[in-house]
Amino acid sequence: MDHDVVVRHKMTEQYLLDELDPEIRDEFEEHFFDCADCAFDVHAGVLFVEESKVVLSEKTEPGSSVLPVTAAVPGIPGWLAWFRPTVVVPVMVMLLTVVAYQNLVTYPQLTSQLDSPQVLPWASVNVGTYGSEGPVIATRPGKGFLLFVRIPPEGGYSRYTAELYSPAGKAEWSLTIPAASAQDQWPVEVPGANREAGSYTLAVRGITAAGESKEVGRASFELQINK
């Protein structure tokens, strides 16, 4: 799972509120185990929730004995008790800590990475070369890479779809590639994610204007993760 996607879709907050689909939740959990920023956000969020439960469960202290027994003490509605200083102050402190960390550390790091030029690992893959040994791409955890995908020039297709399969055979993503007669190779940027090392397969299907689909070919490559 790409860290930029996690931040953009506020998946940390959705995870803490149990609003993620089971499959996305599993991918997010795999991601934050290897991502220090997301692990900190989740840890801070859990502390925030636990502290809120403790504070909100406190009983309202009894009134002072100085007041006459016959004096009427107006009751405080339950929801207004949440606005007591003993509740608001700890909650606000923890919330401000999380926001400050994101604004001072997480977001500047992401902005710096987006604004800085990068040299990405790359490899050329030829679709349709069945049985041939694919190239090797070496990258770091969470870092993306480039695939220069060469598709056999066949007429009759208005577009292509490329699907990447993990070493376990699970489809990780699908991409639409336009069919251009003057071009038979397309650069595809594979975003950084918590991928495992191993042999990956890129399957390409040709789509006609009528919507008919046919597999054009497959290509494989070996991904190495250097920590």
Give the start-to-end residue ranges of the domains of the chain.
Answer: 3-115, 122-225
For position 26, what pLDDT does the model report? Answer: 79
For position 16, what pLDDT does the model report? Answer: 75
For position 201, what pLDDT does the model report? Answer: 93
Query: Which DSSP category does 114 fall into?
Result: H
* CATH, domain range 122-225: 2.60.40.10
For position 58, what pLDDT does the model report? Answer: 57
- How far apart CA 132 and CA 120 sit, in angstroms, is 24
Tokens in use for 181? 């007669």
For position 200, what pLDDT does the model report? Answer: 94
For position 165, what pLDDT does the model report? Answer: 94
- How far apart CA 127 and CA 200 sit, in angstroms, is 13
Could you give the count of Cα atoms lying within 13 Å of 220 in the half-sphere of its Cβ?
Answer: 12
- How far apart CA 200 and CA 169 sit, in angstroms, is 8
For position 55, what pLDDT does the model report? Answer: 58
The b/e string for 127-144 (b: 16+ C-beta within 10 A; e otherwise) is beeeeeebeebebeebbb
Minimal CA–CA distance to 12: which of 35, 42, 43, 34? 42
| pTM of the full structure | 0.50
The answer to whether residues 136 and 199 touch, using CB atoms and an 8 Å cutoff, is: no
Distance, CA of 168 to chain centre: 20
pLDDT in 10s for each residue of the chain, 227 residues? 677 777 777 877 777 777 878 888 778 777 767 777 777 777 777 766 666 666 556 544 454 444 555 545 455 455 445 445 555 555 555 666 666 555 555 556 555 555 567 778 888 898 876 556 789 999 988 888 999 999 887 778 889 999 999 999 999 999 998 887 556 788 898 887 778 899 999 999 999 989 899 998 899 999 999 87
CB atoms within 10 A of CB 219: 25
**Strand ranges of the sheet holding 185-190, from the earlier edge strand across to the other edge:** 122-126, 145-150, 185-190
Minimal CA–CA distance to 146: which of 114, 109, 187, 106? 187
